[in-house]
Structures are given as structure tokens and as C-alpha cells.
């Protein structure tokens, strides 16, 4: 059932200098993500999950190796091209929602579409469709502060996929939620991925959620390995 490769890390290295010493986080990491699949990234704190997601999302450059998004080798590209690829191909979700507090849920989801140049009517239609997929269609007119934690995260997921990226990268998206709410949020995310052919890489500490994903990988010895 695996679709085509939408994200590929090949021989990726990332080292951080710490005074006299060097901290090697990734040492030749290889990974492929396919459309239609959800992969759990499960590893202890400090092993490099966020680092891996930032590299995959073109927010950082690897020290060696290559990151391919939708078939493009991205490392050597000018920053403008990397930004354009990131905006069109990649959606991000963080542990904390980072929604704009003065705008409604609907407006938060419309925003990236308006920035991308979509007419307001189309952006609004797509935003309310996404809220429906996330099963919070009735919450569109509420501001983030009026939503529960689980609802906020579902809005954040809808916003991340508003411009129909190929890849969704999520950094502990349910880390701030109770297990039952985390499960609801994951249900919605799963439905979205399966109906849209999106691919998702989700860093999580929640083993119940990881067990429900298509595959599980961890970071061991600076490499990405399945388990």
C-alpha cells in the first residue's frame, strides 16, 4: 500500500559544536517516507527527533548527506527555493499550537492559503472543509482561547495541511494532551492522511499512538532504524 517516496534522507549528518567537543546527533541517517503512510518517530528526549524533523522540513541544513522533498535534492538550493518548497510541500505541527490568538479557527486555517494567493472565498471553503474533516466544523468561528487543547491541536493540523502539502511533520503534537484527547486528535489526523494521500512523520512519546501508526522508527547511534 506504500505510495511513492515524498521525503528521503540520505546519509544525513548533523553535529553541534559544544565548546571544545562536538555532539554528533545524526551520523549517516537514512529514511524514506511514502505518500499515504503515517510513521511514528519514537526516541528518548535529546536523541535528535526535533533535529531530524527540522532537517526534513528544510528549516536546517545537514552537515553532510541530502534531503529530498518530492524528488528535489534540497541541500544545495538557494534559500528562496527551499522556502518555496517548504511552503508548498511541507506542513508543520508543534506541541503547542501557535495559532494566532486574535483570529478565529477558520481564519487561522485561511491565513496560509491567502498568503499563497488563493481568493478568500476558496480559502474559506477549504478551511471549513478541513474543520469538518477534523470533526470540529462547528467551532470555526471561535478564537483559540475559546477552544479546548484537543480542538486547538486539530485546528493547528488543519492549518498545517491548508495548502495541501505532501508531507506533514509533527513534533510531539499530542504531548500536551491527556491520553483520551490525544487519541481523538490522532483519529482525525489519521482520517485526513488516509483520505488525502498525505504522508506524516510524527515524533511522539505516546506508545499507544505509535502502535496505531503504519511503521515505527527510532534514532539509534545517529541512524534511523525501524523497530
The binding site for ligand ADP (CB under 6 A) comprises: 16, 23, 25, 43, 45-51
* CA pair distance 198, 42, nearest whole angstrom: 20
Q: Can residue 174 be called a binding residue for Mg ion (CB under 5 A)?
A: no
The stretch among 1-9, 43-51, 142-150, 189-197 that binds Mg ion (CB under 5 A) is 43-51
**12 Rama class: left (phi>0) / alpha (psi -120 to 50) / beta:** beta
Residues 6+ apart with CB under 8 A from 69: 6, 7, 56, 58, 85, 86, 89, 90, 166, 167
Indicate which of Mg ion, ligand ADP, none lies near residue 206 (CB less than 5 to 8 Å, by partner kind): none
Residue from 8, 41, 50, 94 binding Mg ion (CB under 5 A): 50
> In this structure, are strands 90-93 and 167-171 parallel, antiparallel, or unpaired?
parallel
Q: Name the residue nearer to ligand ADP (CB basis): 72 or 207.
A: 207
User: What 3-state class would DSSP assign to 227?
Assistant: coil
Q: Name the residue nearer to ligand ADP (CB basis): 44 or 119.
A: 44
Q: Please, what is the minimum distance in Å from the beta carbon of residue 53 to Mg ion?
A: 8
Indicate which of Mg ion, ligand ADP, none lies near residue 159 (CB less than 5 to 8 Å, by partner kind): none
Amino acid at each position: 500500500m506504500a505510495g511513492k517516496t515524498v521525503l528521503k534522507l540520505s546519509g544525513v549528518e548533523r553535529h553541534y559544536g559544544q565548546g571544545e567537543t562536538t555532539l554528533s546527533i545524526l551520523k549517516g541517517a537514512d529514511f524514506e517516507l511514502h505518500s499515504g503512510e503515517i510513521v511514528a518517530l519514537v526516541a528518548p528526549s535529546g536523541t535528535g527527533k526535533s533535529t531530524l524533523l527540522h532537517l526534513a522540513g528544510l528549516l536546517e541544513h545537514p552537515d553532510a548527506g541530502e534531503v529530498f522533498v518530492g524528488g528535489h535534492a534540497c541541500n544545495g538550493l538557494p534559500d528562496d527555493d527551499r522556502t518555496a518548497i517548504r511552503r508548498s510541500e511541507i506542513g508543520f505541527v508543534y506541541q503547542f499550537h501557535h495559532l494566532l490568538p486574535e483570529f478565529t479557527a477558520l481564519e487561522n486555517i485561511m491565513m496560509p492559503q491567502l498568503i499563497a494567493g488563493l481568493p478568500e472565498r476558496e480559502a474559506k471553503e477549504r478551511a471549513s472543509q478541513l474543520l469538518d474533516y477534523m470533526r470540529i466544523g462547528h467551532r470555526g468561528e471561535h478564537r483559540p482561547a475559546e477552544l479546548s487543547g484537543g480542538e486547538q491541536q486539530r485546528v493547528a493540523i488543519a492549518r498545517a495541511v491548508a495548502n495541501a502539502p505532501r508531507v506533514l511533520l509533527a513534533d510531539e503534537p499530542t504531548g500536551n494532551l491527556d491520553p483520551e484527547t490525544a487519541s481523538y486528535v490522532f483519529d482525525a489526523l489519521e482520517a485526513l492522511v488516509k483520505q488525502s494521500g498525505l504522508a506524516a512523520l510524527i515524533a511522539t512519546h505516546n506508545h499507544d499512538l505509535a502502535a496505531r501508526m503504519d511503521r515505527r522508527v527510532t534514532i539509534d547511534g545517529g541512524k534511523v532504524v525501524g523497530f
